[in-house]
Every structure is written in structure tokens, then in C-alpha cells.
Structure 1
Amino acid sequence: MDILSGAYASVPADSSWDQQTEQLFYKTLKEDVAISGLEIPFSGQLNRFGNEWFYAQLNSNWRSVITCIPGTMAELSKDPYFGIASDNEVGRSKAIKFYQQANQQIQQFNSYFNKQMVTHVLIHSAPTINEQVPSSVRALVKSLNELQQWDWHGAKLVIEHCDAQVNTQHSEKGFMRIEDEIDAITTVNKHAKQRLGISINWGRSAIEAKSCNGPVEHIKQCIKADLLTGLIFSGASDTSDVYGVWKDSHMPPQFNDFDCINNRDSVLNEEQVKRCMQLQAGTKLDFVGCKISLLPNKQSLATRIKYIQKTLAMIKDCIN
């Protein structure tokens, strides 16, 4: 099981970091033997400083996952019908073309290192659902059937579940229900060249349920369907002024021996991590990891590294 860091979420969202600082950030991570690889964002390219620069920052032994959520959200800001689950054929076709671009980037990534560097591609059941923008299992099945026929250069396709649209409550992503994602993948897997799976982001499932029980229930459903592939720990809060109330802001967990006032009201802690890791113990996860942001943005590079390392150490302790 690979241990991943969604390190990009720990980089300041503003322009306070220059290229040299980000280079030092990745240099420190590259030397950390506890990390098997990264969760790398795709939004047209893999890093704001360009792919060639980014490749040079990576450990050539890492086995990484590409997440398409940043690019998906960027496209949704321009076209609300965008998404592989969209009932709008134009919007669905745009999403297919977006994943073609991601596919090409993975080929280039592997070619640079002359070996497979990407193990999984996280895809998403956009669009954000509302009365004007419907989605369906039928549309998602159609898209997944197309995507799984491509050569993904050794990588496996995985739907990363994001918080679903639930009745009238506010959603962060508002994508498809996990029951519908399971239904679609189960249908496609009957004839797929390579089985698709599901990855759970702890924070997004907690946001959907407004409870720590959300991730647990989603993990149970995926295990029952024999689809659980990955698990990423990203926190959330029901009270935080800094990270927001049930916002997908990648809040760090609470720590027993190291704490900061800004993450003391995180609902993610060692008990919740242990609960999830014990639950999946009988399965064979391909990857587990963390994705955390440090707010406010003035947090130092050293502090950001420390939070990543402490979170990964907590996860590893719960595996053993």
C-alpha cells in the first residue's frame, strides 16, 4: 500500500511562495522515506511552474496519483454542465476531452522518467447537480465505458467520491451520490478491460454527512461492493472560523502531541483515522494518504512540512 502526500494542498494559495521556496518544499519531501508518492493535481498542467520544472523536483522512485479535481472545478466555473455524469451531451463531451488531456500528460510524465510514474487517476462524477443541471447513472456509465477503453499507461481509473448534493443542504461539490457511483462502476466493471474502483476523501464524506460517520458509511459501502481502492485523510470542522464550517478546505487533523489553535476544532483526529483503517483492514487498499492545507497562508515552510509529516505518521501508526 502506497503512502501518499497531497502536497500541493499545503502550498499557499496566494503568490507568497516563489519558485525557489517551492523547490525547497519538494526537496524536503523528496528526502522523506515515509512518502511513497504524491497526489498530483491536473488542471491542464501538473504545476504552476510548468511540467518540466516539476518533474525535476520529484523522487524518481515515487508512485503517484493524478487527481483531476482542480481542473474539474475550474471547468465547472466556466460551464456548469461540464462533467462525465452530465446529461448535457456537450458538457459530457467536454469532460471526455479534458480527460484526454490528462491521459496525454500521464504519457509525457512516464516518458520523462522512462517508466511508469502514475499508478492511479482520480476522476469525478461532475457536474454539480441542481434542477437546471441534471446528471445520471446512464451518462456516467457511458463516459466510464469510453474512458476505460483508453490506454492509461499503466494507471488505474478511480472515482474519487466528493460530497454529494443532499436535499436542500449546501454542498461543496454537489456531485453524484456514492450509491449511484457504485451502481455505475459495477455496471461498467462487468465488461471492463480493467476494473475501476472508488477512493474516499475523508473530509468530503464528512462534509456530506455533516458527521464523522459519513466516511465510515462510505467506506463500508465501497468494501461491500469490493470497490474500495484508496483513502485520503483531509479534515473538516463544524465550528472553525479559519477553515469554515463544513468546508472542503483540507483542514489538518488534531494531534495528541502537537497542536495549533487553528486545527483544534478539526473533527478529524487519531481516533477517526484508526476507525477507518481498522475498518478497511481486510481489504487491499492501493493507497492511503493525506491532503492538508495550512491556514492562514503565513505559515512557514517548516511548519507545513511538519504538519504533513505528523499527519502521515498518525496514519502509519494506525496501519500497524
Structure 2
Amino acid sequence: MTTLDARSLFALTDDGAGGWLQTCKRRLKFLLRFHRHRPHMEAVHGLLERHRLQPLLQAEPGLMLRPWRSYLWRPLCRRRRSQALLAHLDWAAATFGSGGLLALYQGRALAVPGLPVDGLELLLMPSRGTVREGELTLELRLQGEALMRAAFSVVPAVLVDATRPPQARAMVVGNLQGLRDSVEGTRLLAQRAERLRPQALLIAALQGLASGWGLALIAGVGRDTHAFAAYRGLSRRILADYDRLWEEHDALPGAGHWRLPEQPHCDLEQIPSRKRSAARRRHALRLALHAACWHFAAGRPSAPDQAQALAAMDGKTGNR
């Protein structure tokens, strides 16, 4: 096992901005924090070596620094931050393989096939710029234009719900945001996707991935438990009202998190009869997207099409 060297890691993570004096100040601060967090960082370093993922230190040196700062959600202590990161990397190496995970970080995003909307794309990639809110990003695009993305990590479920068994895993969604200058793309998507909003499609996709990977639950951070909520400057980046967002998608409040259902839900009995047909089509589309992502995550060759999803939903609702 190679030795974790603080000065080498500083050289990988610092850009030398501000001149010699400012760099020296940052180096001193870095060394002090390094020794404070060294046991957690050595655990991450050891896991990378066990899975032959040492090249990640060059591609993503900031991985080693996750235990230092607020990560995934606000109340997480540094020991649990380290536990969450180790569990995610262990899961990712087992799910994608060491070679596949390295390729992912080298820019080879994974595309979900068989989507039910013409021109719609879902790309799975490492998080860039939102790493403290989740290690992976699922990005929704239409005809090549990015409309919305979500950052998430896969962590031990006991970190979210203490009643879960130790081996269970949970998807924690730490960020879900639309992208600027996507008004026209969002309008076109509404035309092609039964007037559904991008967040409804993206959440259905996340539910499908979590089900396909066999995860025990899906948790979304709340407005006050977002990783940046305690920072005066960074909190300005939180543009979404997460509590309202999850509640609109049938999530239930928990201890700092919202618990999302395993798949999209639609109660047709609560919808006026004149609007029920359109609601059925929208729900069928979300189910088809969920199915495509489920098959992608589970490693199946193809997904049911929209007509099959509609027939399945009609069977569950009794054609009301």
C-alpha cells in the first residue's frame, strides 16, 4: 500500500492562485486539516487501492477531501461523511466494475436506452461542480440540450433510516436543478411529453435507477438539510424549494429527508373525469421512463414501451 502524501495531494488540488504568499497560507491550512482528518482520508485511499482505482486521484483528487466539509446533507459528521463516501465508492466499483468506473470519470457518460420520448436523453456521469451534493449526476437532455440534472450518492441506508439493516443501500439525492437558458427546450419537452415538467421525468428516472439497482429507499434532502444550507454564501446556490418539490412527487417527510416512493404514483380517483385521460397518459409516460431506467440499472437488454406501460397501469387502476 502506498503512503498518502499531504504535499502531493495539495499540489493536485490547489491551482496556485493569488501568488506565493496566499498559496503558502492555503498549504499550511491544508496540512493542518490533513492531519486532523488523516484516518478518514487513509481509509478512502486504501479503498481506491483495493479496487485498483488509483487513477481517480489524478482525475478527481477532491475525492480525498470529502470528509473535510459539509457533504450530502447538513447534519452529517465527518466520520459519517467518510462512511458515506467509502460506501458509495465500494458500491460503484461493484456496480460498474473498476474499469467501467474509471472510464466514467474519464468522460464516457452512460446513456439510458429505450426512452419513450423522441429526442430525450438521460446521461449518467460523475458530478462536476456538485460533488458535495452527490458523487453521480443524472442529466436530462432533449436533442442534445441539457435541461435539468440531479446529483446523488448511494450510501448505507442506516445513515438515513436507523431501522434499516446494515447491508441495505439508499440513494440520497442532494441536488436537483434546472439549467439556465433552457426555456425553449423545456417548452419543446412539454409538447412531446404530455405537458410533463422536466423534474417529473427526472424523478421518475431516479426512481427507476434505484429500483433497478435494488436500493432499499430513495431520500431527498430538505430545504434546511441541504449540504450548503449552513453557509451564508453557498446557500444562495439553493434555488429550488426542495420540501415543496418532494411533496409534489408524493414523498413523505422523515428525519431530515424526504422519502420518495419506489415508482411514480397517480391517484386517478382524485382527478376530475374530464382530465383523467390526460393524467393517465402522463402517468403511463412516467412509468415507461421508470421501466427504461430500471432495465438499464438491472442490466436488462430492453425496456417496455409506452403502450405496455399504459396497459399495465390500466390493469392496476381498473380502467377508471
Q: Give the TM-score normalised by the residue count of structure 2.
A: 0.28
Larger Rg: 2
* Higher percent of residues as helix: 2
More relative contact order, 1 or 2 (CA 8 Å, 6+ apart): 1
Q: Give the TM-score normalised by the residue count of structure 1.
A: 0.28
